[in-house]
Amino acid sequence: MDKALEGVKILDLSRVQAGPSCTQLLGFLGADVIKVEDTGGGDRTRWEMAHNEHDSVYFTIFNNNKRAITLNLKDDRGRAMLADLVKWADIVLENYSKGVMERLGIGYEWLKSLKPDIIYASIKGFGNWGDWSEFKSFETAAQATGGLMSANGSPDGPPKGVSIGAGDSGTGLHMAIAVLAALRQRDKSGEGQMVEVSMQDGITNLMRISLIKPLSVGEVNTAWGRVPNVFRCAPGGDDDYVMIHTRGDLWITALAVMGKEAMFEDERYMTDELRGERADEVREIIEEWTMQRTKYEAFEALAAAGVWCGAVLTPVEVINNEHLKQREMIVTVKDDYRGDYRMIGSPVKMEKSPVTVTQAPRYSEHTDEILKSMLGVSEDELVELRSDGVII
């Protein structure tokens, strides 16, 4: 069965998370992704947080469903081979700091001269224009400058970041949408284009709920956090919590599940505002019930009645969760080199383009194969290129 993006060819010059998360998702959907790494060790996530002698999970978690080559782009021969690969590609994606592509001599104008309909996907911390565009960024800097850290902080404490990759992977998701839109437009116009997503822009887009009051009345949102929504469960350990949405009519539904029908007309808790003012009492009322049940028992009883809720799972519980395994979000990847490993699957489920997660490439694993089969490089030339440090 053909994949949704069968025939789409991507040169991935990115590293770490924002770019690789984008190209991995496109690879899941059938794109042919060639990851181009430098000859000085490649993507640093290969060794950062490594738990054994093989590539770190930090690398494999963002780089499945790709091939990998090495090229020294500071060498004329390395750039010449990249030029040949650009002519093959539909998309070139990078997340270098602003100006690096131009200093290497491989900027957008150079790419267009080689292939006029190329789609050039550029991820930057603060974009390619604007007052802050010269500044570098990373995950928590994007969270800070996009408003997320402030919105996540408590009124009596400092701003606080979140542990998910909102700045990096969130930007990668935005870029995947941009690339697909550019491909669709090229189908109609025959023209390529530059598409850009900045990490600050991506966070700002994800902050829409928290920007309602700033946009409407010029104030910071506060009401969302007043009504408690996380409650202790049995046996009372550090990770024994259930999240329960107790706003609106779901307050009544939750009370019914808990056998507290007598409180339906209690005027002290009739509105969200009143429940927010009596947050400690609301917590006590609900925990009288939840502390008699595990987080899974509380979740399943409430969810079955239509209450929006969820057992609060730890990351370890997530990767062992049976529902996620059934959904193929936790999969086993076959790998003869590293050994089979558990991995996160694709969140996108397509009836006619099912996803098989394939192993992340080893450093320079496909260099010889790609240079010989696609560029016509001979064995003798490979030896010379390797001896001169142009490839690994």
> Can you list the domains of the chain with their CATH numbers?
9-208+362-387 (3.40.50.10540), 228-319 (3.30.1540.10)
Residues 6 or more apart whose Cβ sits within 8 Å of residue 331: 342, 343, 344, 345, 357
For position 110, what pLDDT does the model report?
Answer: 98
The residue among 198, 194, 18 whose CA lies nearest residue 92 is 194
The residue among 59, 77, 25 whose CA lies nearest residue 384 is 77
pLDDT tens-digit series, residues 274-314:
999 999 999 999 999 999 999 999 999 999 999 999 999 99
Q: How confident is the model at residue 219 (pLDDT cuts 50, 70, 90)?
A: confident
pLDDT value at 41 more than 50: yes
Q: What percent of the chain is predicted at pLDDT more than 90?
A: 94
Average pLDDT of span 161-166? 94
Strands (E), the chain: 9-12, 32-37, 67-70, 91-94, 119-124, 193-198, 230-232, 241-244, 309-311, 330-333, 341-344
pLDDT tens-digit series, residues 65-122:
999 999 999 999 999 999 999 999 999 999 999 999 999 999 999 999 999 999 999 9
For position 257, what pLDDT does the model report?
Answer: 98
Q: How far apart are CA 104 and CA 307, in angstroms?
A: 55
CA atoms within 13 A on the CB side of 141: 10
Q: How confident is the model at residue 225 (pLDDT cuts 50, 70, 90)?
A: low
Q: How far apart are CA 46 and CA 59, in angstroms?
A: 5
pLDDT tens-digit series, residues 347-385:
999 999 999 999 999 999 999 999 999 999 999 999 999
- As given in the structure block, the two tokens for residue 374 are 């696609």
- As given in the structure block, the two tokens for residue 319 are 């990767």
Q: What is the DSSP letter of 140?
A: H
The residue among 40, 35, 39, 3 whose CA lies nearest residue 19 is 35
Active-site positions?
Answer: 168
Q: What is the DSSP letter of 71?
A: -
Average pLDDT of span 143-171? 91
pLDDT tens-digit series, residues 183-205:
999 999 999 999 999 999 999 99
